[in-house]
Structure 1
Amino acid sequence: MRHLLATGFALAITPLAFIALPATAQSLGMPDDFSLSSTTSSSDSGAQGARTLDKIVAVVGDDVVLDSELDQAVTRIKARAGSRASQMPSDILRSQVLDQLIMQRLQMQRARERNVEISDSEVDDGLRRIAQQNNMSMEQLTRAVAADGMSMGQLREQIRQELMISKLRRQEVMSKVTISDEDVDRYLENQSLRAAEDREYRVRHIVVPVPQGADAESVESTRRQLQSLREEIVAGDADFADVAAARSQGENAMQGGDMGWMDGAYLPSTFADVVPQLQPGETSEVFRDADGFHLVQVEDMRGGDSVMPDEKVMVEEVQASHILLKPNEIRDDERTRELARQIRERLEAGDDFAALAREYSDDNATANQGGELGWVQSQRLDPTTRRQLNALDAGEVSPIFQTSEGYEILRVADRRERDQTREAVRNRARRALGEQKSTEEGELWLRKLRDEAYVDVRMAGYRDTNGS
C-alpha cells in the first residue's frame, strides 16, 4: 500500500498563478547563487574545497525550499500519479510541485503568525484515522510507512502541518462564511441546480490561467490554444486525460485532470451551469472565469441519494421532561445518588413529576418549567439518554441513570412523527452553499496570501504558471 496520505490528509493547497514580486534575494542577505555547502579537506594537499550539498530553489518569506526537498516531492507525486506523470514535461511537473511547496510554506508561516497549535493527541488521532481508512493496525501502518520511505516522525510532522493548515483555514476562511435564509431561497429557486441535485458526476478538468493585466491579444491567444486542444479531443485525435496531464495547470493535472466523483449540489460555481448540461464522454466548450480558461469533460454520471422536495423525511420526536441532580461541594456523589433514589420512590408513589422537578432539579434551564424538555429528536441526544428515552412508552418514567453531569430521571409524555422534508431540503441546500462559498473564499484567501508574500523562485527551467 503506497502513499497513505492520499486517503484524507492531502495538503489543502490550490495551485495559483505564480506572480513575480519585485523583492530580490539580496534584500534577505542571500546571494543569487547561494547554496548549502560543506567544507572537505584533502589529505594529499591539505587544501580545502567546497562540496555543494544542496541548492535553494525558492525563497519564501523567511524560509527556503531546497532542491532535494523538491526532488523528493516530485518523486512522491510521480509514484502516486503513475503513468500520467510521465506524460507531463519535466519542467512543468517540477514547476507545479514547487508551487505547491511554496503555498504550503506560506500557509505554515501564517499559521505560526496566528499561533495555531496542534497537540500531540490531535496528531495521534490523525494517525489512527489514517490506519482506520487503510484497514490497518498501528503496527501495520508503521511498517507501511517505512516501506514508503518515510519514518513515523516524518509522518507525524506532515500530519501536524496539515492539521495546522486546516485549523488556520477554518479560522481565516470557514468562520467568515455565512449562509442566510435568502441565500437558501435563491438556491432552491434555481431549477438547474435542483435538477442536478440527484446526480453525481465524474469530472475531468483542464485550466489554463490568464496572467493578471494581460492584454486582449494575450487573452485571445490563450483562448485559441485551449480551443485548438478541444478540437483535437472532440475529433478523437487526443485523449482528454493525456491533454490535461501535459497542458493543464490545475491541481489535478497529474491525475489527468480527474476531480473524482462530485455531488451535483457541491459543484464549484464555475462548473455549476456547465457540467449538468453534458452527457458522459462529452467535452464542454471553452469557458472563462477569473482564473482563466477552462475545459471540462463528464466521464460518467450516476444517480444519488439526494433528498428531493417531493419525498417525505419523517423523524420521530419525543415530548419529555427530566430531573437532573448534580453532585456539588455540599452534596457528594453518594448523597446525590441517594436523593435521586428517594425522588424516584416518590414518583412511584404518585407524586407529581413537575413539582419534584421544580423543587429538586439542578438544570436551571428547565427546573422552573417542571423539567420540560419539549419535543426532542432522540437521535440528537447522547447515547445513554437516547437509550433510556427509546425504552419508554408515553406516560412512563425511567429508572435513575448516570450521565456526565450527574443523575437523571426521564418522563415521556408523548411521541409523534413529524414531516421534516422541508427542513431536510433546506439544510442540504445550506450545506451545499456553505461548501461552495468555502471553496471560493479559500481560493481568494490563497491568492491574497501569495500576492502579499515575498517569493523568489530560483529553480532552473521554472515555467511560470501564469500561462504568460
Structure 2
Amino acid sequence: MTWFLAILAQVSGMSGEAKIAGVEELLDRVVAVVGTEPITLAELEGVFMVYAAQLPPGISEDAARRRILEELVNQKLLYYEAKADTSIKVTPDEVNQAIKQQMDALKAQMGPEEFARQLAAEGMTEQDLTSAVKENVEISLYIQKLVDQRIKPNIIVTQDEAKKFYDEKRDSIAVEPASYRLAHILIRIEPSAPAEQEAYTKAKGLYRQIVGGADFSDIASRYSDDKQTASQGGQLGWFPKAYLPPDITKELEALKPGEVSKPLRGESGYHIFQLLDKRQDAYLLRHILINVIPEKSDSSKAKAKANRVMNLAKSGKNFSDLARVYSDDPTTKELGGDLGRIPENIMTPEILGAVKDAKAGDIVGPVPTPLGYSIIKVTEKTEQVVHPYEEIADQVKNYLYQMKIQEELNKLLERIKQRVYVEIRL
C-alpha cells in the first residue's frame, strides 16, 4: 500500500499554500528523464515523504532519495516494457477493482472517520483521490503482469537450495537476537549560561544577516553545524510536523512561505528555519543549526546528579517514581522511564555493555549518552533464539523466491536500459 500513500502525499503536497518565488521552480525541477518522460523533484519528494520517518540507521536522506529515484526510474522502464508487450493487457475494471481494494484497506487501517477527515483536510473527495491514483494503479498492474508472465514462470527454488541457503546464512536469517525491556532516567547535560549565550548570540547574528538580505543557503553552507544539510544550503526537504516539538511547530505555523524564524532552541542548539512551503502534515524547510557546546564542568555536574539518583534507585526507591521526578526525557518521563523492548543488535555499544550481564530487576549506570547520563533498569530479558530450518523453511524458500525474482528483474532492466534513454540529474 506504500505507493497509494505516496500518491496521496504527492497530491496533497501540491495543494494549499501558494509557492514562494523559486520554490515552485525547485519542485518542478527535473531530476531524471526516462525515454521522453521527466521525473520531477516534486514526485520524488512525495514518495520520500512516506519513507522519511522509517529510514534505517546509517542511511542518510540523500542516499534514500537517490535510491527512491532509482526505483521511480525502474518503474517507468518496466511499465514501458509491459506496454510494448501486446500480450499484456490491463482493463479499466481491473484498475477500478484494485483501487477499491486499496481504498478499503486504507479505510480499515485508518478508520473510516479518520480517512474522511484527512481527505477533507486536504480539500479532496474520495473521487478526487481515486482519479489521482488511477494512473499509478494502472502502471502497477502492468508491471505485476509483466513479472507474472515473464519472470515468475522461470523461477524455481528447490529444497536443497533452501537448506543450503539456511546453512550459509543462519546467523543472519535464523537468529532472533536477545532483547531487553528497559526503563531509564535521563540526566541531561545542561550547558552553562555562557555556553548558551555564545551560541544564541551567534545564531542571532546570522538571523540578522538573513533578514537584512543575505542568502539563506549561503549562510547555511558557511556556518551551520548540521554538516549533512549545510552542503545543500540547509535543505531539510519535507519534514513531518509530528516530529517537531510543539513550541517549534507553533512558530513555524505563524510563518508565511519564504519567511525566516527567529533562532529557536532545539535539543542540541539553536535552529533558524526558512519555511518554503507547508501542507497539512509537513513543512518544506531549510535550516541553520548552531550547536550549544557544554563545558567540561557541565558534564561533571550532570554526572554527579546522575550518581545521586542512581544511589536513590539502588537504595530501593521506586524506579518509576524516580523517573517521573528526575528524568529529563519528556517522551518516557510520565511512563516511569519505560523504553519498551529493545533488541541488543540496535543498542549503542555503551548501553549494551552496561546491560549485557544484567539480570531482570538490575539497575545499571550511569551510562554516558550523547545527551547526558542514563540510569537504566532491566525489567525483562529474553535470550537469543536460533530457529531450526524446519521451523522457518517456508520463509526461507519465499525469501529465495523473491530474491531470484529481483535478480531476473535486474537483468531485464539492464537490457531495457540498452534500448531506452535514461538520464539521472539529481
Given the two structures, how large is their TM-score scaled by the length of structure 2?
Answer: 0.37
Larger Rg: 1
Q: Give the structure with the larger helix fraction.
A: 2
Given the two structures, how large is their TM-score scaled by the length of structure 1?
Answer: 0.34
